[in-house]
Chain A
Amino acid sequence: MFDPLFIAQLLLNGLVVGAAYGLAAIGLTLIFGVLEEVNFAHGELYMLASYSLFAAVSFLGLPYGMAVLLVLPIMALVGFGLSQAAILPNMERPFEVTVLSTLAVAMILQSIVRLTAGSTPVNVDTVFETMTFEIAGILFFGQRVLILIVALLSIIAFAVFLRYSRIGLEMRAVAQNRLACQMVGIDLKRIANWSVVCGVVLTGIAGVTMAPLFDLSPDMGVAIVFKSFAVVIIGGMGSAFGAVVAGILLGVVEAFTTGYGSVAVSEGLFFIIMILVLLIRPHGLFGRTVRI
């Protein structure tokens, strides 16, 4: 079992699965990082992006790349709607109001998809998903490699946006001190809209790149939201970099425990790590100090 090829394959699996966890969680952590609001509709937004991709590929007959280009602006609009309906009106209210209103959005989105598309799962086929390359005995899967690349590009592009664009700088300022921002004339509502739109588009990117891997169903967001929360808590609430690192850490741990143990062990371990991190570093691995 200590075959180097086997270990290398597990390591690669961990990286690709972990990158997917990280990518799926960035949108959640971003909204929290800037606005300190928890978006419970995160999983359903991921589901909505996946279903929109399915509709674009199956009903409009678009190739995968074109479908992605169509879905992401739609997700930006959905993000703007979410911000207007469930986040902006509640920013000055107690924290649980946003939790409940985003939870309501989650239920509404899930029901709309169930009523329009039905409960029967669907799937999206892409060229990448059927590609498997074998290099020196190690298998590389097309769609998963794409996810790894997209996760890395997303984090780099987002870091550049935060550091060098005016909106990005304002978002960081709001994350650091909301009151001071208001005093110097930063429009908080505009920044809140931008943060939610960016967060939802990032969740959309996760949805459209991961959709071809698995079947799609109206309840698929529930499973992703639990893992995303675990990733965000381990990485540090509000830290996009932390989310990717925590995702990859969990992916690698999961790959090795499943490889050498069983699936049941790895599932438990995911949440044991979360509890341990909370005990040792209550703000997560990259919480507070390296916020967005």
Chain B
Amino acid sequence: MRILRLISVFSCAMVLSALPVLAADIKIGFPGPITGNLGFLGEHMKWGAQLAADEINTSGGLLGGKKIKIIMGDSKCAPAESVSVVERLISQEKVDVLLGDICSGATLADMPIAKREGRPMLVTISSHPAISEKSGVGGNPWVFRTSPTDAIIGALGGKGVLDQGFKSVAFIAEDTDYGRAGVESMRQVLKGKVNITSTDFTAADQTDFLSVLTRLRSQKPEAIAIYLLDRQLFNFMKQYQQFKLKMPLVGRPPLGSGLVTDLVNSGDFNGSWTVFQYLDSYDSKENTAFVASYKKAYGQRPHFAGFAMYEGIQIIAEAIKSAGSTDPEKVREALKNIKYDSILGKIAFDDHHQAHNSILKMTIIDGKLKVTGVVGQ
């Protein structure tokens, strides 16, 4: 009995002595879809963030050996769920820094909480123009963004359509803030110059495009501008292939996604292009190293979501290092002045806390997706 009592007292002492170490972790939290139709993107978000944290932790951590702890909550990419995750991350998990959700609608809903609670929030994936319009000067001082806005990507997409001399374009986009903002940005550029034959906004979980494709086959637009995420693009491309259509897909289809690699390689989509902020086969020493460690850790090549979160954690770590503390105000000021060498260029924030790193134009040539242009913003 005495031995048992001794063991239990010793165990309690061990747990209590470990507590201050656990409490000293630097906590970085974010909402993202773990369940729902974007669950696999959430998986990549978590992997990218965890990979960066593991690399930092194994090389000695931050602020004299403190470890980064990643906490992700399931938002299902729905604004209401995302808000409750962020509330919980701040009030219960006591996170030091937040990252944005993947969906623009969810991120926009989370921003006022970051402001109210005074926590820096780095948005790495959401692309709605309103996020940076509402941040920095005259707006939310706590929100920063590395992902380019749809206004910039839409303008580049529109320019691509004009450069190729297309006379008519049909839009197909998911019915979300992301899809609508993307179409609107591109439409602004094309207005009066290109005939927009139809615009379809589909529910984000729509998988069947048979009737839309029937109409497009009959309308014969010269190109189809796409604002769909990976899974919908996969289903769309698969059905498009069955229709044996020949018009190129343009705008912002995620052609670099692992889900559509076989379709891209089939050669049926030659001439299709996209404007995106990352491609896993982008040729640079830093990217090759990142892809290799990602694949080693998770058995898959990185998705853009994984890349964006990996860089996000690295940027936050840089800011904490330069602030010398996890004090929210000091980290925020450090983020304002950061100059981070990202895999695709230098990241620094403007007065609306928007970074301007490179954007890639990629085209399918002979069944391979190739980088055909790197555009500085």
Contact = CB atoms under 8 A, between A and B. Distances in A.
A53 interface: no
A23 interface: no
Interface in B287-302: 300
Contacts of B300: 120
A10 B111 CA distance: 45
A217 B201 contact: no
Interface string A222-234: 1100000000000
B39 A266 contact: no
A118 interface: yes
B201 A263 contact: yes
A116 B67 CA distance: 30
Contacts of B39: 114, 119, 217-219
A141 interface: yes
Bin the interface of chain A by size.
Answer: 35 or more
A9 B210 CA distance: 10
Interface string B208-240: 101110110110000000000001001100100
A262 B243 CA distance: 19
B40 A266 contact: no
B176 interface: no
Contact of A6 (B200, B218, B231): B218
A93 B40 CA distance: 39
Contacts of B34: 119
Contacts of B286: none
B63 interface: no
A137 B241 CA distance: 17
Contacts of B43: 118-120
Per DSSP, chain A at the interface is helix
Contacts of B258: 120
Interface string A96-135: 0000000000000010001000111101000001101000
B37 A219 contact: yes
Contact of B259 (A118, A215, A218, A255): A215
B12 interface: no
Contacts of B92: none
A44 interface: no
B244 interface: yes
Interface residues of B, number: 37
Given A215-B259, A255-B210, A262-B200, A132 B243 contact: yes
A217 B40 contact: yes
Contacts of A255: 210-211, 214
Contacts of A92: none
Contact of A9 (B42, B205, B214, B244): B214
Contacts of A144: 210
Contact of A263 (B202, B218, B234): B202
B374 interface: no
B218 A214 contact: no
Contacts of A266: 211
A18 B43 CA distance: 34
Interface string B272-311: 0000000000000000000000000000100000000000
Given A214-B235, A264-B200, A264-B201, A17 B244 contact: no
Nearest to B41: A119
B217 to A, nearest CB: 8
A141 B206 CA distance: 19
B11 interface: no
Interface centre among A114, A119, A141, by most B CB within 10 Å?
A: A119
A280 B225 CA distance: 42
A123 B201 CA distance: 24
B231 to A, nearest CB: 6
A266 B209 CA distance: 12
Contacts of A6: 214, 218
B215 A121 contact: no
B326 interface: no
Interface in B30-47: 34-37, 39-40, 42-43
A258 B242 contact: no
A168 interface: no
Interface centre among A3, A132, A139, by most B CB within 10 Å?
A: A139
B377 interface: no
Interface centre among A114, A213, A258, A264, by most B CB within 10 Å?
A: A258
A132 B214 CA distance: 14
A267 interface: yes
B37 A217 contact: yes
A223 B207 contact: yes
Interface in A244-266: 254-255, 258-259, 262-264, 266
10 contacts: A10-B211, A10-B214, A13-B210, A120-B40, A130-B242, A141-B242, A213-B207, A215-B207, A217-B37, A267-B206
Given A120-B259, A214-B207, 11 more contacts: A6-B218, A13-B211, A119-B39, A121-B231, A121-B234, A217-B231, A223-B207, A255-B211, A255-B214, A258-B212, A262-B198
Q: Which 7 A-B pairs have the closest CB atoms?
A: A258-B211, A119-B39, A119-B40, A214-B207, A120-B40, A263-B202, A119-B43
